[in-house]
Amino acid sequence: MDRRHFLANTVKAGVAAAVVSPLLSKISEAAPEHGFTFYFQQDSLLYAFDALEPYIDAQTMEIHYGKHHAAYVKNVNDAISKEHIHVTNEYTFFAQVSKFSPTLRNNGGGAWNHNFFWQCLTPQKQEIPQKLSDAIVASFGSVEAFKEAFTKVAMGQFGSGWAWLVHDGNGLKVGSTPNQDNPYMDDSPFWGKPLLALDVWEHAYYLKYQNKRKDYIDQWWNIVNWQFAADRLI
């Protein structure tokens, strides 16, 4: 494929990808010698590092976004080039991730999960939109029961991982995944379309909360972007 055709295809794929999800990573021109493929990108933060104080401190945000997340994005893209994999978007990436190397899996999950997580947070305290609270009540009985169930899975994830609220086609469910796994992965025991995610790796809370994961979870409810979750509920 010559450069002109490569760029034309890249632009078309980028437009199609943007329709699928605003979270989608851009198609990069970084490796035209490999033809068309998908690369992850690190989305811009929609708020300042200190905007989530006092619930998440600025230093944690700066290191988490600037070091941890940036490294996942760089490492997965390096591995995509080095291992010559060709996928068209993150969904086709995760749909065959069980066939990929641990480097691709762990860093691809880390790249996507954090882009999603930043959008689950907001400095503006929000009420839960009606359609989301209705769905929560239908599946869990009450908002309080949902928060208890979510806290339980977030506390129950041994070691590093994520807690999720997902819609599985029937209703809402909570569950957790280890490491940087997510509910889109083909071999995940926990499936569904994510509405909310909580990073329970120690790097997400240790500077402020040390070993007290429960305190971090309890405070997290103050900065949940309920509107973002409701918008993903179709």
List contacts with Mn ion (CB under 5 A): 199, 201, 204
What order of strands is seen across the sheet that includes strand 172-178? 172-178, 161-167, 193-199
Nearest CA among 200, 197, 195 for reference residue 234: 195
* Pick 41 or 88: Cβ nearer Mn ion: 41
State the Cα–Cα distance between residues 98 and 106, nearest whole angstrom. Answer: 11
Q: In the block, which residue shows the tokens 């070091």?
A: 67
Q: Which C-beta is closer to Mn ion: that of 36 or that of 47?
A: 47
Taking CB atoms, the residue at the shortest distance from Mn ion is: 199
Max CA distance (Å), the chain = 58
Q: What is the smallest separation between the CB atom of 216 and Mn ion, expressed in angstroms?
A: 12
Q: Which is nearer to Mn ion, 17 or 199 (CB)?
A: 199
Q: Which residue has the tokens 């509910």?
A: 183
Beta carbon nearer to Mn ion, 93 or 117 = 117
The CB-of-37 to Mn ion minimum distance in angstroms stands at 25
Strand intervals (E) in the chain: 161-167, 172-178, 193-199
Tokens 């796994």 correspond to what residue?
181
Closest to Mn ion by CB, 201 vs 209, is 201
- Minimum CB separation from Mn ion for residue 110, in Å? 7
Least distance CB 142 / Mn ion (angstroms): 30
> Strand, helix or coil at 90?
helix
Report in angstroms how near the CB of residue 64 gets to Mn ion at its nearest: 6
